[in-house]
A and B are shown apart, each in its own frame.
Chain A
């Protein structure tokens, strides 16, 4: 009984901290960076992204994950990163987001976020780290997280491959792609107004469309077998279960 109430207290503290960050720390950050650093969109957004990403990492650390869980996570991230190589003969085909979403569907949103963020970070060791790294981590993380959430409310489902694949494509073109475009808008440092925003997103649209089609195709072809493989590992060894 007592343990339960301690647990409850912890939850209340955690929720309070979350609310404080969202309603207090984040607006304050925007205010101070605006006031003292000029309208530095990139720096402000970077700090906000850190506030958004760090809790996921801290939760993972706090849980003191088992060796099996960590190795599985690493393996999925490595597959997501290396999958690009398997499609090297198809130009502009990026299957990484699809694999991140599959892991989100199978293991839940939190794992999806971690896989997305870590894969984006590590893939930049192969390509190049740059000001885009935190944004990519955030964008792909959100992709995995949303896939996990959609799977939890039974909108994305293993036995509905077409619907899942289309939703995956929509996630890319509506969420992940625009987030990456926002990064280029901020890093280029050009004046932000209606026309520059419209131009950036329109210029990004063709690339995002290709990315979305690649994600859709990968999810359609590989979604079901991959998810089942992950489910099997989950059931057989009892890992990566969402509480």
Chain B
């Protein structure tokens, strides 16, 4: 599987996710929610294929619970469905719950794909120049994790020789075992850290401006996508400020429907579809290139 959107410049990826997540949290107009739901689900399924469907099914209970819970806390609304004790359970509150749940699931799905698209090396590329020291620390932590995992296994194995299995005994013994292992790891790691630091220093760390690991270029495609995204963001924000996306759920349901709604939702949909459009275009192009051979 080839995800072309992931191979765009990280700046493009970051701006897309900032837009998708922030707009996703602000706009609760039903058309916006529909646009977000359709695009986030499509993109997630595109990336994960069949395995993604299982995760989506797993999210269904979350959706139902959040929808159903809201009317329990929110008793306003005009249409009474039934009452629990003295507390009314209203249709408006339930619909608001469904909207909130949709928003929540969409944001979670955007984060699911975010975790696939924006990898740690992209983050260091993005923030390496703004926060040089922190991104070194961040990179080092990521590098140390697997190494410490191995060391932990080594320490536990050594302790097995003296009969201190990790799984032995009750909870108390296990916790004690765990703390000893962590303590041992700490001694070793701290001593090692000084060696690493001295080695860094003797190789000239800090003597000049740090350069970053960069394998990303700004291609003309990135520029086009970026321009398109900025046009979308400006239009959506403008329509939002003009009231095109305004909504009220409680006490009665009312949505804006004017020219700003149409334009705003259209651009919102285009913006959110960008990754899918890019991926599918590339797939189609490849298909034709292959069939020509």
Contacts and interface: CB of A to CB of B under 8 A. Distances in A.
Interface string A25-43: 0000000000011101011
Contacts of A193: 73-74
A9 interface: no
Given A93-B178, A217-B175, A79 B26 contact: no
B132 interface: yes
B21 to A, nearest CB: 8
A57 B132 CA distance: 11
Contacts of B70: 190-191
B144 A75 contact: yes
A122 B142 contact: yes
A229 B171 CA distance: 26
A72 B185 contact: no
A95 B194 contact: no
Given A65-B133, A70-B133, A89 B104 contact: no
B292 interface: no
A196 B145 CA distance: 39
A196 B73 contact: yes
Interface in A174-217: 187-191, 193, 195-196, 199, 217
Interface stretch (A13-21, A126-134, A136-144, A148-156): A126-134
A43 B187 CA distance: 42
A60 interface: yes
B49 interface: no
Interface string A221-243: 11001100110010001000000
Contact of A72 (B148, B152, B190): B190
A130 B22 CA distance: 13
A74 B144 contact: yes
Interface residues of B, number: 66
A130 B111 contact: yes
Given A130-B111, A131-B111, A89 B174 contact: yes
Given A43-B25, A70-B133, A78-B141, A86 B66 contact: no
Range class of the A interface residue count: 35 or more
Nearest to A223: B179
Contact of B175 (A60, A64, A87): A87
B85 interface: no
A199 B171 CA distance: 31
Contact of B140 (A37, A64, A71): A71
B200 interface: yes
B108 to A, nearest CB: 7
B175 A90 contact: yes
Given A82-B149, A89-B166, A191-B73, A70 B197 contact: yes
Contacts of B120: 125
B64 to A, nearest CB: 13
A64 B210 CA distance: 12
Select the residue from A42, A66, A73, A89 with max chain B CB neighbours within 10 A.
A89
Contact of A131 (B107, B176, B196): B107
A70 B210 CA distance: 14
Contacts of A90: 171, 174-175, 178
A225 B176 CA distance: 13
Interface string B5-48: 00000000000000001100110100000000000000000000
Contact of B115 (A61, A68, A118, A129): A129
B281 interface: no
Contacts of B187: 229
A118 B133 contact: no
Contacts of A37: 26
A188 B104 contact: yes
B190 A233 contact: yes
Contacts of A87: 174-175, 178
A13 B97 CA distance: 47
Interface in B107-159: 107-108, 111-112, 114-115, 120, 131-134, 136-138, 140-142, 144-145, 148-149, 152, 156
A236 to B, nearest CB: 8
A189 B70 CA distance: 9
Contacts of B138: 118, 121-122
20 contacts: A60-B134, A67-B201, A68-B197, A70-B136, A71-B193, A74-B141, A75-B140, A78-B141, A78-B145, A79-B189, A81-B141, A81-B145, A82-B144, A89-B166, A90-B178, A95-B182, A118-B137, A128-B115, A199-B73, A222-B183
> 8 tightest CB-CB pairs across the interface, nearest first?
A74-B140, A78-B144, A191-B74, A196-B73, A68-B197, A189-B100, A71-B197, A87-B178
